[in-house]
Structure 1
Amino acid sequence: MSFSDPHAVARYAEGPLRQVPGFLGLQQMSHLLLAEHVPDDGQVLVLGAGGGLELKAFAEAHPQWRMLGVDPAAPMLALAEQTLGPLMAQVTLLEGYIDDAPRTVFDGATCLLTLHFLTVEQRLHTLRELRQRLRAGAPLVVAHHSVPQDAAGKHRWLQRYAAFAEASGIPRADTQRAAEAIAERLPLLSPEQEVALLQEAGFENVELFYAGFSFKGWVAHAPATPV
């Protein structure tokens, strides 16, 4: 979708539920993983926060957390503000990228359904900047498309993604277009490459916690001793 198209933005909330297997569970697992290390009054950085869906889930589950939501698309941040309503008291929204986020030391961070839009170089830079904004031992939770790099494997998993979306009520023609566009336009990495990239960025204890067809999720931690 175009994150600057007001009609697409207005329909955004429908998308993850119909396209991402176990989306609500992914949100719940994400805040539970954060809560293993984030204190009750902790500070959390949410990168790719447009729409506000995970911000709302986190705020409802942890009413004393304070969160910074960062996203480059102003219409998506406007939607996030609508989604959050009175929960905005826990959230600050920032239009921009990771480089625009203050170098505050956060207790945890997430980046959900976002990194698959970035090239390898952009991802590595983003992950390094995230690490530099986390206190020692703090968790980072990421989840996005990740598929094998061979043509047959990539096709197989993206067709499973399309099948899930179709079973959730999206017309077959639309799901096929989406799968083709993802294959052609997104710089997807294999799960092995994802782990290696997190490690190259300086994260430790990288663990897979979520797998939903073409979507995968990992939790990793900033070094216990700052780099």
Structure 2
Amino acid sequence: MPADAAAQDQPFLKSFSDPEAVARYAEGPRRFVPGLDGMLRMTGILLAERAPADARVLVLGAGGGSELRAIADAHPGWTFVGVDPAAEMLRLAERVAGPHRARMELVEGYIDDAPAGPFDAATCLLTLHFLPAAERERTVREIHRRLRPGAPFVAAHSSFPQTPAERGQWLDRYAAFPIALGVEPEQALGARDAVAASLNTFSPEQDEAILRAGGFADPSLFYAAFTWRGWIAHA
């Protein structure tokens, strides 16, 4: 989900306020993000390397609730603040959270609406690609400012080579994966075109540089799957 106000005007994001589209949301990430469930599980493992048993975790872009549920399932002593600008997506997160809902505070808004912390850990999954470079760096910096020293941060989003020839090839692969799973080619190719037109995608090298500029000195790649990358870093 989008992490800040700079994303509001993107047509690609209108579906996050459409109740019918939100009702179908859970189908999309698992079809278009290879290894999503494994990535969510790895996220919890990486956070637990430094987060205490009673950690307070900031989840930016929490709409939909999949990461909230996956991490809460694995760590019953943690509490969460989930932030997202789309009310419909937060309502979905409430339903997905199920028995863990009492451990979660859900905030409708952007990074500037998140509590000041300090938090013991943070995540921003499938979100930062909605933001242009300057706003992405500012958002990362605001996450960093809310973390305790040494606290872990996991970011994962669309990130792949951006030279013209490579970009086209990787976008084709983005569409090929759901087609191989049985998604109608027209739907998958439409999603490809929407990503190409609407997302702010950068190379992994530039994405890592943004994490460093936002205050994280040690970003390390832990997840790579076609057009997706994930990093672990520490405040």
**TM-score interval, normalised by the smaller of the two chains:** over 0.9
Residue by residue over 1:23-62, the C-alpha shift from the partner in whole angstroms, topping out at 9 and shown as x without a partner, is 0000000010000011110110000000111100111100
Q: Aligned equivalents of 2:98 and 2:153: distance in 1?
A: 26
| Aligned position for 1:54 | 67
Q: Structure 2: which amino acid aligns with 1:81?
A: E
What is the aligned counterpart of 2:156 among 143, 147, 156?
Answer: 143
Q: Aligned equivalents of 2:187 and 2:158: distance in 1?
A: 18
Deviation of residue 149 (structure 1)?
1.5
TM-score, normalised by the number of residues in structure 2:
0.93
3-state secondary structure, aligned to 2:224: strand
- Conservation of the 8 A alpha-carbon contact between 1:63 and 1:90: no
User: Which has the higher mean CA deviation after the structures are superposed, 147-156 or 188-197?
Assistant: 147-156
Q: Aligned equivalents of 2:194 and 2:202: distance in 1?
A: 15
Q: Aligned equivalents of 2:48 and 2:87: distance in 1?
A: 29
| Aligned position for 1:122 | 135
**Identity level (%):** 57
Deviation of residue 15 (structure 1)?
1.0
- Conservation of the 8 A alpha-carbon contact between 1:18 and 1:169: no
- Conservation of the 8 A alpha-carbon contact between 1:38 and 1:107: yes
Q: Aligned equivalents of 2:182 and 2:62: distance in 1?
A: 25
| Aligned position for 2:200 | 187
TM-score, normalised by the number of residues in structure 1:
0.96
Q: Structure 2: which amino acid aligns with 1:197?
A: I
What is the aligned counterpart of 1:81 among 83, 94, 102?
Answer: 94
Q: Aligned equivalents of 1:119 and 1:16: distance in 2?
A: 22
Unpaired segments ≥5 residues, structure 1? 223-227
3-state secondary structure, aligned to 1:93: strand
Q: Structure 2: which amino acid aligns with 1:66?
A: T
Residue by residue over 1:66-105, the C-alpha shift from the partner in whole angstroms, topping out at 9 and shown as x without a partner, is 0000000000000000111221011110000010001010
Q: Aligned equivalents of 1:169 and 1:3: distance in 2?
A: 24
Deviation of residue 184 (structure 1)?
1.7
What RMSD over aligned residues (CA atoms) do the two structures have, in Å? 0.8
Q: Aligned equivalents of 1:25 and 1:215: distance in 2?
A: 13
Task: Kindly report which structure 2 residues correspond to 1:27-42, keeping only aligned pairs within 5 A, or say none.
Answer: 27-42=40-55
Unpaired segments ≥5 residues, structure 2? 1-12
Q: Aligned equivalents of 2:66 and 2:211: distance in 1?
A: 24
- Conservation of the 8 A alpha-carbon contact between 1:19 and 1:168: no
3-state secondary structure, aligned to 1:202: coil
| Aligned position for 1:24 | 37
What is the aligned counterpart of 2:172 among 159, 162, 173?
Answer: 159
| Aligned position for 1:211 | 224
Which runs of at least 4 in structure 1 moved beyond 6 Å after TM superposition?
none
1:131 lines up with 2:144 in the alignment = yes
| Aligned position for 2:20 | 7
| Aligned position for 2:7 | none
Paired residue total: 222
